[in-house]
Amino acid sequence: MTNFLLAALPIATILFLMIKVNWGAARAGAAAWFVTVILAVFFFGAPTDMLIIAQAKGVMLALYILYIVWAALILYFAAEEAGAIKTIGRAIRSLTDDRPLQLLILGYVFASFLQGVAGFGVPIAVVAPLLLGMGFSPVLAVAAPMIGHSWSVLFGNMATSFEALIGVTGIPGTELTHYSAILLGLSGFMCGAAVLWLDGGFRTIRRRIVPLVLISGVMGVVQYFMANYGVWTLGGLTAGIAGLVASIIVTRFWKPHPDDVAEQVADDHQHMPLIEALTPYLVFIVLVTMATFVPAVEMLLGKIRFTLDFPETATATGWVIEAESAKAIAIFGHPGALLLYTAAISFTFFKLRGHYDDGIGKRIWQRTLKSGLPTSIGMVPVIGLAIIMDHAGMTYALAEGGAAVFSGAFAIAYPVIAPAIGALGAFMTGSTNNSNVVFGMFQRHTAELSGLSTALVLAAQATGASLGSMLAPSKILVGCSTVGLSGKEGPVLSVVLKTGVILTALCGFMALGILLITTMNGGT
């Protein structure tokens, strides 16, 4: 229990400093980093070598993410300066006059689609400024895609985090897809409801329950079938495309409530055809598709890789992390590189079409620097503390403490806590993938010891890890940097934390419900 409380201190520190003291993520992260290092050395027996190795791993992961952040910012400002963002916002407004439905389509459906295409914070970096441009508050503009895209993380981005779960647990994917897709589908509905809730509480959900059920239902069902027919790598992408098609159809028949009609925003920019405004995103989709599905292109772009090989580490208490390589950064095939190519193509296109004034290059670079630097300062301490916690056995101590509550007679209720452990892992490591790697085997062992369905418990872990990605500080930093909230991430964290905790708890109760239903039906 002492270890559990000590391991919780860094998280408590970062949350307290960001939410109560209103520090930015960089300052709070660096302060919590010191707390983590002190606890790791004096209470968990971490040697200096381990700290250095863990921190170097943290930098490698930070570089991986920062590559995307900087490229996404350049692309965004290139599009914004040309007037493309305003045009897209106007197009969504013309799709429907219903303001909450506009928020749902962009913050939930479009963000889920982008997660299917790219992931790694791209949905937030792209959608947050679009929402801001449509008149939503900066906090809501970041929080909506953070929450809206989270259900799509497991099967999005070529299902890399699901593959990680399969790899680490050794259980075939076909055994895990059934429960995972059901829990994610139901969680997807709740994510959509939560996005609507942000804009006006339960009344907003009640008034839009029909479009919400139709759109989330289509996405959930499509993802379920894709996952269960063995093509889980395309589960998130196809669900996102189906969601966009469903949204267009639904808005044709939907009449907005008079109270929720979007205000007409003053149009102060020269009009641009929608197809022109969408050029950056269409180019991006084409590039991602080519880099993913054309083996020759994938091989060519992936030739030059930057990685480091890390040796095994061990603490004085015997917690061992095996030797591993850092996540390789394919210099020319990384999502950040694809965003940079997109930015270069879009910039040239908009320049040729005469959408830029003089001195545009300098202006885009200055705006990118202003947004990117505060985010970059925070990334290294935040990710570093998470990896030090993992390598010192602190993250495991947290999970073990939570699981201990549900031992013995309470074992039947373990599915309630399983998603929370997954979400904790995603919050601490900033990645659903890492959460599945860190806690996959732990969850499998716990399920086996408790006599519960391994497939269900692992599905609960994976869904919790997916939902927990909305809490990842690195993603909050990315989102805030694009809407001018750098250094003021506290309010966003406060909103997504409350929502994330509720959604994860609901996911736990759904997993328990499934367990009870299958038990009553005599299943395993």
Residues lying near another protein in the complex (CB under 8 A): 26-27, 29-31, 33-34, 37, 48-49, 51-53, 55-56, 58-60, 62-63, 308, 310-311, 373-374, 376-377, 380-381, 384
Which residues lie closer than 8 Å to 511 by C-beta, 6 or more apart? 179, 183, 415, 416, 418, 419, 456, 457, 459, 460, 463
- The whole-angstrom separation of Cα 25 and Cα 474 is 9
- If the CB atoms of residues 63 and 196 are measured against another protein, the closer one turns out to be 63
Burial letters 72-91, b for 16+ CB under 10 A, else e: bbbbbbbbbbbbbbbbbbbe
Handedness of CA 416, 418, 423, 428 (dihedral sign): positive
CB of 259 to another protein, least distance (A): 42
- If the CB atoms of residues 104 and 326 are measured against another protein, the closer one turns out to be 326
Closest listed residue to residue 48, CA positions, set 62, 57, 35, 38: 38
CB of 360 to another protein, least distance (A): 23
CB of 61 to another protein, least distance (A): 11
Handedness of CA 40, 43, 47, 48 (dihedral sign): positive
Give ∠ CA 503-506-508 in degrees, rounded to 5: 110
- If the CB atoms of residues 389 and 426 are measured against another protein, the closer one turns out to be 389
- If the CB atoms of residues 254 and 306 are measured against another protein, the closer one turns out to be 306
In sequence order, what are the beta bridge partners of 309? 325
- If the CB atoms of residues 64 and 427 are measured against another protein, the closer one turns out to be 64
Which one-letter DSSP state was computed for residue 98?
Answer: B
- The whole-angstrom separation of Cα 378 and Cα 291 is 30
CB of 8 to another protein, least distance (A): 21
- If the CB atoms of residues 203 and 488 are measured against another protein, the closer one turns out to be 488
CB of 381 to another protein, least distance (A): 6
- If the CB atoms of residues 31 and 139 are measured against another protein, the closer one turns out to be 31
Which residues lie closer than 8 Å to 90 by C-beta, 6 or more apart? 267
- If the CB atoms of residues 26 and 125 are measured against another protein, the closer one turns out to be 26
Indicate the SS3 state at residue 439. Answer: helix
Give ∠ CA 520-187-100 in degrees, rounded to 5: 140
CB of 58 to another protein, least distance (A): 7
CB of 465 to another protein, least distance (A): 26
CB of 416 to another protein, least distance (A): 37
